[in-house]
Chain A
Amino acid sequence: MMNQDNFMVIKTILDWVNVFFIIYLIGYSSFLFLAVVVGSSELYNKRHKEELKNTLLQNYYVPISIIVPAYNEEVTVVETVKSLLSLEYTLYEIIVVDDGSKDTTSQKLIEAFDMKPIRRPIHRKISCQPEEFVYESVSEKVPLTLIRKKNGGKADSLNMGINACKYPYFICMDADSVLQYDSLTKISRPLLEQGNIVAVGGVVRPANSVTLDQGRVLNYQLPSNILACMQVLEYDRSFLASRILFDKFNGSLIISGAFGLFKKDTVIAAGGYDHSTMGEDMELVVKLHEYCAMNEIPYCIKYATDAICWSQAPERLRDLCKQRKRWHLGLFQSMWKHRVMLFNAKFGAVSFVSFFYFLLYELLSPFIEIFGVVTMVTAFIFDLINIPFMFLFFAIYAVFGCILTLTAFFARTQTIDLKISVMDALKAILLCFIETTFLRFIMAFVRATAFIGYKKKKLNWGRIERKKINVK
């Protein structure tokens, strides 16, 4: 039997834990709420502006190099390059970097585009593994280059692409993604609208069940696979919510590796992509913040809400877990490497809002959530929990989360003129409950266990099953 003193100690601890969780949840709810309100109003405002031609309508083209790092992408790489060749943009080049694939990635490209070997000198401004061969094609509408190099990871491949590209801005993207026909115009527009821009993030949308023709959406519907469908909702929430809000104060810390535009000179000056982290995309953006702020270079990192890249979302739980583990480890590595940015006045709002948010609500959240479950079990054992209130609280939390997700989802589909069927709308409503109440917790567990055995997979590409995007 536990004595009264011990019981009081446990009760006091649980009381304090309660206070912590209340503050934590209020903070999170307030942030999400603010982010969704700001995000949706921004989208509606943008639509209104476009209707009244408050947009750049002429063909103001900024030359862009598209870098496609590829590793064992024989299934998708040819389609990806074909889709890039059909982009509606005048001045760009495509550079595919084959990171020593074990399959026929390079051969497929060489055959499909009738590429020829060439001895091309590459200006090594950032370190990367040596090239094995270079192929070029001059028969396509824009220059197409294939560089096959010794295996060194995705960051290393991107660095090779940066070394080889000739234009002042480059886009990094995944070899299994498809850019929407107008995505280059849209992602480069902020460069003309504002000075000092060093990076622009695009929107990544799951392409499962979407049919594309020459980069145009022919048919949009929610994926039949439940897991992919829930990711659509999740992507919309996170892209609309946090990224638009952070964009308001130049606080974006993530530009997806699947679609982002960068100023080459600044990236080179900052040291390029880091080979040693898994989240090279986040690391680069955080590094750009640090580099520019430390060197007192005026800079801006923007987010283009209408520049769209279609990508395959994992349809198997195992693949999704792998992906999320990588993301979480990447987040940890980036934040640890640039920990100087936390609560440092030199970095302003990026430090006190974005960095702190990512620390508390992204990096530590799985541990905090699991700690919450353990606390509940402990409280239950000691009969210190009000069960009806707990269920009520859960229900409110679930409804709150769902409404925010749905707001984000409908605001997005509506403002980019994607028509969804009534069935899809109902499906979204149903699945957002499952996503909030189950998937989130599974993912919290997955992310909390991400560190187990991470040294072994530090530099691998984190393969997930590849499927072709439905391109006509």
Chain B
Amino acid sequence: MKVEILIYAYLAVCVSMILFNIVCIFVFRRKDKNIKKRSIDFTDIIEEQLDKQTVDETHKSFLRKKLKKINHMMAFDETLEKLYDRRPEDTQKYIANLCSVFVFLTFKYSEKNQIQAAYFPYIIKKYHVFKGVSIPIVQESLMELVKEQNLYCRENALQALYSIGGADSVIQALKTLDKAGSFHHGKMIADGLLCFSGPIDELSEKLWMNFNKFSIALKQAILDYFRFSSGRHSEKMLQLMIDDKENQELRFSAIRYFAKYHHEPAQAHLYSLATDDSPIWEYRAIAASALGNYPAEKTEILLKELLCDPNWHVRYNAADSLERLGVRYEEMIDIFEGRDRYAAEMLRYRFDRKKLKDTEGMPV
């Protein structure tokens, strides 16, 4: 084969790419224009409904017809966003009246490709379309999306379920997600659960009831959620923390929980974890950090001892906790003047930093 032929062939394809670029410029511009134009049309039509304070059937069938097309849905989204700013209450009432339309659209969007399918739960979540309303067909469809390989399908579907607010469906979705085995970052799950719009106590209770059915990664995310949500899980967290046979990552999460929420019965266990002589230094380090939330003479003595720990992180956390406990400089003279240089420098840093913060906070 002659080289020129190949080069010419490449050139031809490259020229096509340039043409593709030019076409793209026009397509994007046209698309943007069309969405704006449709949005203006939608605004007039929807405002008419808002004024009437009701949604008539003709309008619903108009929406059924239009919104099954993705470009119209995008324009509808743009319109609602603007109307929300101008007339929030009317718009919310209007959306609440569109349940039947969105049930119809659930079927239509479940047939689309994954990128388009992921857009639908985003809309459900954004406008709280089914908030507090349990419609099995919608939840089944969202559950199917949770199984998908596409991360955004899964995440948008989960977000929609959190916004609907059914504790059972959220539990079921988490089980489905776990079973599917795709990577879903724990932070997204923990943060997502914090957005749950239904009864939080019911959700927490059900999460604990099903706790042992979840994978370690999911359990960790749930424990993070509990830590960020409230201090009402102390008893269960304590059981986790003191169970030697439990996974160590989960036990770490439980110790962190007590760093945030003071729970008297945990104190003695934190002492023993802080003096744990196992090679796993993380127990000592995290317990040292948690003890900053447990003021007592014994805590101070223990933390001073931990300042001499061979592990850097344990010393750092112990110094940090002593500072948080408000121990005064004079009470630490023995450390500053002692033979352990590492302990002294770690503590000095915390004290200097506190002084720096206090000075910054003082009025000039």
Residues of A whose CB lies within 8 Å of any CB of B are 22, 25-26, 29-30, 33, 36-37, 40, 44, 48-49, 51-60, 62, 116, 118-121, 123, 136, 138-139, 191-195, 392-393, 396-397, 399-400, 403-404, 406-407, 410-411, 414
Interface residue from B17, B20, B187 paired with A60 (Cβ < 8 Å): B187
Residue in B17, B122, B150 whose Cβ sees the most chain A Cβ within 10 Å = B17
Hey, which chain B residues are within 8 Å of A121, CB to CB?
Answer: 342, 345-346, 349
B14 and A33 within 8 A (CB):
yes
Chain B residues with Cβ under 8 A from A44's Cβ?
24
Determine which of A53, A59, A195, A411 lies in contact with B152 in the assembled complex, contact meaning CB atoms within 8 Å: A53
Residues of A with C-beta under 8 A to B3: 22, 25-26
B28 beta carbon closer than 8 Å to chain A = yes
Asked if B183 and A195 make an inter-chain contact with CB atoms under 8 angstroms apart, the answer reads yes
Are the CB atoms of B11 and A403 closer together than 8 Å? yes
By a CB distance below 8 angstroms, the chain B residues around A138 are 353, 356-357, 360
Q: How far is the CA of A22 from the CA of B356 in the complex (A)?
A: 68
Q: Which residues of B contact A36 (CB under 8 A)?
A: 14, 17
Q: When chains A and B are docked, how far (Å) is the Cα of A138 from the Cα of B353? A: 9
Query: What CA separation (Å) do A118 and B355 show in the bound complex?
Result: 10
**Contact: B18 with A403, CB < 8 Å?**
yes
Whether the pair A54, B115 counts as a contact (CB closer than 8 A) is yes
B312, B316, B349, B360: the one contacting A139 at CB < 8 Å is: B360
Which chain B residue has the least Cβ–Cβ distance from A48? B115
Chain A residues closer than 8 Å to B13, beta-carbon distance: 33, 37
Q: Does B25 contact A (CB under 8 A)?
A: yes
* A51 CA to B183 CA, complexed, in Å: 24
Q: Which residue of B lies closest to A123 (CB)?
A: B312
Which residues of B in the span 194-245 have a Cβ within 8 Å of any Cβ on A? 195
Q: Are B10 and A33 interface neighbours, CB within 8 A? A: yes
CA distance A26 to B6 in the complex (A): 8
| Chain B contacts to A: CB under 8 angstroms | 3-4, 6-8, 10-11, 13-15, 17-18, 20-21, 24-25, 28, 70, 74, 115-116, 118-119, 122, 150-152, 155-156, 159, 183, 185, 187-188, 191-192, 195, 312, 316, 342, 345-346, 348-349, 352-353, 356-357, 359-360
A119 touches B152 (CB 8 A): no
Most buried by B among A29, A54, A56: A54
- A-B residue pairs in contact (CB < 8 Å), sample of 10: A49-B152, A54-B118, A54-B150, A54-B152, A58-B191, A118-B353, A119-B349, A138-B360, A192-B185, A400-B14
CB-defined contacts of A22 to chain B, threshold 8 Å: 3
List chain A residues, Cβ under 8 A from B342.
121
Residues of A within 8 A of B15 (CB): 403
Contact indicator B6/A52 (Cβ below 8 Å)? no
Residues from chain A with a CB closer than 8 A to the CB of B70 are 52
The answer to whether B353 and A400 touch across the interface, beta carbons within 8 angstroms, is no
Q: How far is the CB of A145 from chain B (nearest CB, A)?
A: 11
Residue numbers in B under 8 Å from A58 (CB-CB)? 159, 188, 191-192, 195
Q: What residue in chain A is nearest B17 (Cβ atoms)?
A: A407
Say yes or no: A60 contacts B7, CB within 8 Å: no
A195 to B353 Cα, complex, angstroms: 36
Contact indicator A51/B74 (Cβ below 8 Å): yes
Asked, given contacts A192-B188, A193-B151, whether A407 binds B116 with beta carbons under 8 Å apart, the answer is no
Return chain B residues, CB-CB under 8 Å to A193: 151, 185
Chain B residues in 8 Å Cβ range of A393: 4
A118 to B70, CA, bound (A): 58
A52 & B118 in contact (Cβ 8 Å cutoff): yes
- Given A26-B6, A49-B115, A52-B116, the answer on whether A403 and B14 have CB atoms closer than 8 Å is yes
Q: How many angstroms from the CA of A40 to the CA of B24 in the assembled complex?
A: 11
Q: Are A136's CB and B115's CB within 8 A?
A: no
Known: A403-B11, A403-B15, A414-B21. 20 other contacts (CB 8 A): A25-B3, A29-B6, A44-B24, A49-B152, A52-B119, A53-B118, A53-B119, A53-B122, A54-B115, A55-B152, A56-B188, A57-B122, A119-B345, A119-B349, A119-B352, A120-B349, A138-B357, A194-B183, A396-B11, A400-B7
